[in-house]
Amino acid sequence: MNEPGPFDRMLDPNDRDRTARLVLVGMGVIGIILLALVLLPIDLFGGGDSDGGAAPAVGRATSKAPKAPEGFEALSALLKVDAKENCPCDITVPLLQPTSDGRNLALYTNRNGKWERLAAATLTEDGTAAKGQVAERPANLAVLRRIASAGLVSGWLPSGAQPDPEALDVLATINPVDFRPAADGTLTGTATSLPDAQGSVMPTVRASTQAEVDAVNSILASPSLREAHINALVQLAILPANAGVDIDYRGINPARKADFTAFVNGLADRLHQSNRSLSITLPAPAKTGVSWDTGAYDWSELGARADVLKLVGAPDPSVYYKQMEETLGFLKDKVDLKKVALIVTRLSTEKGSDGLRQLSLYEGLSLASTIEVRTSSQITPNTQVVIVGKNIFQDDGASGLRWDDSAFAVSFSYPGRGGQRTVWLENGLSVAFRVDLARRFGLGGVAIDDVSLSPQLPSIWGTLRAYVESGSVTLVQPNGVLLRPLWQVQAGQSEPGAKGNVVWRAPSQPGDYEVSLIVSDGVIRAAQKMILRVQAAAATPAPTATPTRVP
């Protein structure tokens, strides 16, 4: 006779096994709880009032949640948002399972079967929910994590600088520029303290001065120093927080080409044995006639050993695309372009007879908004004053702010030091065209020259996020109306001209008055003001009688 099983005992009315019945009752209770979690409203706002003081919003898990897009995983259910409070507002979404990994999280909504990103998200302290701020109330939302990128983005962080939090949301690798090569093969520098939520860390060792480049040349020329330098780099790379090492040795003597190749081969072998990666920055090959000069850098050999090759772009925006398309056309037969990352700058550029110089977007807009008064006489009540934008006034030979169809950037030219000078403003619009160049040639990604938090540099993270998530970017030119200068006066009347000038009629009362010039790069606006003093008119002397001699 077979022994009765546990379910037989539970179903036998004559069996007095109370323990078994309790187990069955417990399972039923658990089922009811799980059903309630699915059907009952979920509080997205932690039970508190929203900023506008309305009742807390709630959401319900949808019955048919669409699949997360490729390269993402869903950390929460897709929740239907029932409340109608005003936004922007903070939203907290419960996760399916607690987690301690806060990387690459964002709030998404699904519209007509298509996922759209709303905002970055961060974990709550206990890891059971994620929170973020949305600009508009969505119909539904979920927390997704990016687990793969369509395009990879790395970024250099100046030593000791604070990274832009928005940059950390898109970076696969961050490269703190903390170390320098020493002549004896060792390294100098101190590691920057980084926030926890980030991609992999690969510290950069950079030779930026001539003395440091000379040190690298000496190291390469000596087998013993070369081995000592490899040891120092490996010790840095295998520190627990690091995923490898990034070296930036531009300007090496071409005579050291074979030595540099041998150095990279030895370093790559050692790093790969320790499951660490190697990225190298390389200057673009130079074209002379129909031949190419790669200097000290053998792209084929280096590409076979290093994991990432960072390509330095052409510095002159006026020929950037022509030169870079030719360069990438040459390199495609030398190296796997999936290993190549195009270096993208956040700095603007000025060109004159004395060469090129880099400047911040803030500096570029400051140049464009410089004010000059062209009326030399004293300003008195109701007088007319001619004021111009010194570097955009077209009657002086300036071009005004315009879109450059060759450089794919907003620019302006003006007569200045050494003759005519041109400024190209780098922002999210121009960066999109550079990123698209990397996409068109099938590069593995882009490397940003500076990912620090700086109000003087443009925010390009929205453009890069689209590239990371979809592999493409939207290419747009700014509305021409945005590039027209605007004048504001504190008092009096103004008659703006069409060429970057304004005629201001001073107010009737003496005093100090502000006149502002507002310019734009098509994304943001910047203003510069000047205070003009209106002085009381000099009193006209009363007429007096002049005695006349009568003959």
d(CA 349, CA 215): 30
Q: Could you list the residue range(s) of the whole structural domain that residue 77 is in?
A: 42-48+56-146
CB contact at 8 A, 411 and 400: no
Residues 19 and 67 in one domain: no
Residues contacting residue 530 through CB under 8 Å, at least 6 positions apart:
371, 373, 387, 514, 515, 516
Please, what is the Cα angle at 242 between 238 and 244, to 5 degrees?
70
Instruction: Tell me: cis bond preceding 41? Omega within 30 of 0 counts.
Output: no
- C-alpha distance from residue 275 to each of 29, 203, 204, 240 (Å): 49, 16, 18, 12
Sheet bearing 511-520, strands edge to edge: 486-489, 511-520, 525-534
Sign, CA torsion 98/103/107/110:
negative
> Which secondary-structure segment (H or E) carries 108?
strand 105-111
Residues 264 and 347 in one domain: yes
Q: Pick from 145, 156, 158, 153: which is nearest to 170 by CA?
A: 153
Residues 243 and 184 in one domain: yes
CB contact at 8 A, 179 and 206: yes
HSE-CB at 360 with a 13 A cutoff on CA atoms is: 11
Please, what is the Cα angle at 97 between 70 and 40, to 5 degrees?
100
Burial of 51 (0-12, 13-18, 19+ CB in 10 A): exposed
92 - beta bridge partners? 131
Specify the pLDDT at position 147: 79
- pTM here? 0.79
Query: How many separate helices (H) and strands (E) can be counted in the chain?
Result: 11, 34
Q: Pick from 299, 240, 323, 225: which is nearest to 275 by CA?
A: 240
Domain end marker among 146, 165, 190: 146
Number of domains observed in the structure of the chain? 3
d(CA 334, CA 302): 10
Residues 199 and 238 in one domain: yes
Residues 63 and 168 in one domain: no
Residues 164 and 117 in one domain: no
- C-alpha distance from residue 448 to each of 157, 170, 198, 313, 351 (Å): 9, 11, 15, 11, 22
Residue 262 lies in a domain: yes
Residues 297 and 429 in one domain: yes
Q: What CATH number is associated with residue 347?
A: 3.20.20.80
Specify the pLDDT at position 119: 81
Domain end marker among 146, 173, 198: 146
Domain end marker among 101, 130, 146: 146
Residues 218 and 298 in one domain: yes
Q: What CATH number is associated with residue 137?
A: 2.60.220.30
Q: What's the length of the chain?
A: 551
Sign, CA torsion 319/325/328/329:
negative
Residues 210 and 352 in one domain: yes
Residue 305 lies in a domain: yes
Residues 124 and 257 in one domain: no
Residues 17 and 96 in one domain: no
Joined tokens for residue 448: 């940003």
Residue 390 lies in a domain: no
Residue type, 102: G
Joined tokens for residue 68: 């997360």
Query: H-type helices in 291-360, by residue range?
Result: 299-305, 320-331
Tracing tokens 């450089």 back to the chain, one arrives at: 407
Torsion of the alpha carbons at 409, 412, 417 and 419, rounded to the nearest 10: 100
Residue 377 lies in a domain: no
Residues 324 and 348 in one domain: yes
Residue 321 lies in a domain: yes
d(CA 91, CA 142): 11
Render each residue's pLDDT in the chain as its tens digit; 551 residues.
Answer: 444 433 333 334 344 444 444 444 444 544 444 444 333 334 444 433 333 333 334 466 766 778 888 778 999 999 888 766 677 888 889 999 999 887 778 889 998 888 888 887 888 889 999 988 888 888 889 999 877 777 899 999 999 999 999 999 899 999 999 999 999 999 999 999 998 655 799 999 999 999 999 999 999 999 999 999 999 999 999 999 999 999 999 999 999 999 999 999 999 999 999 999 999 999 999 998 999 999 999 999 999 999 999 999 999 999 999 999 999 999 999 999 999 999 999 999 999 999 999 999 999 999 999 999 999 999 999 999 999 999 999 999 999 999 999 999 999 999 999 999 999 999 999 999 999 999 999 999 999 999 999 999 999 999 999 999 888 899 999 999 999 999 999 999 999 999 999 999 999 999 999 999 999 999 999 999 999 999 998 755 544 444 444 44
d(CA 330, CA 340): 13
